[in-house]
Structure 1
Amino acid sequence: MTISTSEKLSLNWPIIAFMAFLHIGALFVLVPSNFSWTAVGLAVFLHWLTGGLGITLGFHRLVAHRSFKTPKWLEYFLVFCGTLACEGGVCDWVGLHRLHHIHSDNEKDPHDSSRGFWWSHMGWMIHELPIKSEVPRYIKDIAEDPVYKFLDTYFIPIQVAFGILLYLIGGWPFVVWGVFFRLVVVFHCTWLVNSATHKFGYRTYDSGDDSTNCWWVAVLTYGEGWHNNHHAFQYSARHGLQWWEIDTTWMMIQFLQIFGLATDIKLATK
């Protein structure tokens, strides 16, 4: 049952306009002149670079949960990749995610799944949420870092500059596929972790909320779909805990560990 709480909240029109602009822009992949296999390959690569390395590995497992450590230069690089996913500023993203875990599936959860699939998928983003005022309390470890502050403030100009660079390299096909289409796909893949993995799949652990393990979301999000495991062991760098729960982000962390670039790795206890 959908709770009508969202109806009492004001709409965030700048976010609505931004989302509409990107989704309309993504439709231009249907224009034949914008198609090329190179542009499609670019979109696939950037999906991994920004959604996989940036959001999943960087924003989520490294910064939001501190499930492992990297050299500072690598941390900044991963956060920069996440910034290119254009899912808001890194400080805001991390703070809201930490609030989600503290209040998972109750009224203070920004994307409380009990309010319905639409709300948890993207409805929460297009409303003014009072809970956002609490974000500064939960990002004290990164809020004063000058690199984080810069990336948090200028994530949209950075995306515009990136789009100009792609245009100079490959023209409009690179912009349409590498910016508009790629951003929309990364958005919805990330949002499925908030929505689908609180509705579909199986539950291995009693995590005190409605989180589930959903294999197809794990495929789309480099292992983030093993969400019930994650909520049960929030500190764990590995989310796929069974042999069949393929977690490619965990594989990336293991790869970094081989070269000494991932240390102090936290894992779930049996």
Structure 2
Amino acid sequence: MPSRLINWQVQFFGREWDFMDLYHLTLFLGVPFLCLLAPFQFTWGALWVAISLYLVSGMGVTISYHRNLAHQSFKVPKWLEYSLAYCAVLSLQGSPLEWVSTHRYHHQFTEKLRDPHSPNKGFWFSHLNWLFDYHSRFGSYDGQLMKNVGDLECQLYYRFLHYTYFLHSVLLGVALYVAGGLPFVIWGMVKFHFTILFWVFITTKVQTFLHWIE
């Protein structure tokens, strides 16, 4: 993402919101409403597109972001590593640098104030609000964003995905429209992304309650 967008901020609801905060908030609030169009745009091809994208992006997050990049559990050839990371980008859960940094900080400062989704900051923050507070997650680490992902940031590919992150969903939408018109866009983008958001909601719900009852 260009630095001018990273530094751009607007104030409302008693806090400052940057571009990524508003981007994720718009997706979280807007996509479920657009899903209301899905029954009127149903085709079997569109359904299979949605299922395929869900599986591809979901496995990308699990295999690439989580196990390969964040925890470095295994190594694969670079072409496969980069391909899996790109699949994860399509899930709209953040760029590789952002996702991996958040997860590494979470394990480094689990349930402490510097945990990116610390339960010490309140139930709703640890459950959902952290998703819409970019600088709260990264701004407290000596003023440096994502300084714990130097192993990824030194690679041009991951810097490219980070600075162009939100454009890839736009390109996916255009490709789906060319391939199958509005049904592919509604089911391949909106319905698929709603499923991802629902999965994120359930995942964070489980994590939140487990941390609160410990």
TM-score bracket, normalised by the shorter chain, equals 0.7 to 0.9
Q: CA deviation at 1:170?
A: 1.1
CA contact (8 A) 2:31 2:193 kept: no
Pair 8,90 (structure 1): closer, same or farther in 2 beyond 3 Å: same
If the length of structure 2 is used for normalisation, what is the TM-score? Answer: 0.80
Aligned match of 2:83 in 62, 77, 87? 77
CA contact (8 A) 1:58 1:82 kept: yes
The residue number in structure 2 matching 1:182 is 192
Q: SS at 2:194's partner residue? A: helix
Q: SS at 2:16's partner residue? A: coil
- Which 4+ runs in 1 deviate beyond 6 A? none
CA contact (8 A) 1:121 1:192 kept: no
Pair 9,85 (structure 1): closer, same or farther in 2 beyond 3 Å: same
The residue number in structure 2 matching 1:147 is 157
Q: CA deviation at 1:147?
A: 0.8
Aligned match of 1:35 in 23, 39, 42? 42
Aligned match of 1:171 in 167, 170, 181? 181
Pair 152,132 (structure 1): closer, same or farther in 2 beyond 3 Å: same
CA contact (8 A) 1:86 1:183 kept: yes
C-alpha distance in 2, partners of 1:196/1:141? Answer: 30
The residue number in structure 1 matching 2:125 is 119
| Aligned residue type for 2:33 | L
CA contact (8 A) 1:83 1:89 kept: yes
C-alpha distance in 2, partners of 1:194/1:18? Answer: 15
C-alpha distance in 2, partners of 1:129/1:90? Answer: 17
Describe the superposition over 1:100-144 as per-residue Cα deviations: whole angstroms up to 9, x where unpaired: 111111211111134444322320122253441434321010101
| Aligned residue type for 1:69 | K
Pair 190,21 (structure 1): closer, same or farther in 2 beyond 3 Å: closer
Aligned match of 2:30 in 24, 47, 57? 24
CA contact (8 A) 2:49 2:187 kept: yes
The residue number in structure 2 matching 1:162 is 172
Q: SS at 1:105's partner residue? A: coil
Q: Give the helix-richer structure, 1 or 2.
A: 2
C-alpha distance in 2, partners of 1:100/1:111? Answer: 7
Q: CA deviation at 1:22?
A: 5.6
C-alpha distance in 1, partners of 2:126/2:91? Answer: 19
- Computed over aligned residues only, the root mean square deviation of the Cα atoms, in angstroms, reads 2.6
Q: CA deviation at 1:211?
A: 8.4
* Residue ranges of structure 1 left out of the alignment (5+ in a row): 1-6, 201-209, 213-227, 229-270
Percent identity, please. Answer: 29
* Residue ranges of structure 2 left out of the alignment (5+ in a row): 1-12
Q: SS at 1:199's partner residue? A: helix
C-alpha distance in 2, partners of 1:138/1:160? Answer: 29
Describe the superposition over 1:32-52 as per-residue Cα deviations: whole angstroms up to 9, x where unpaired: 43222332222122111112x
Q: CA deviation at 1:15?
A: 2.4
Q: CA deviation at 1:155?
A: 1.6
CA contact (8 A) 1:117 1:195 kept: no
Higher Rg: 1
Higher relative contact order (CA 8 A, sep 6+): 2
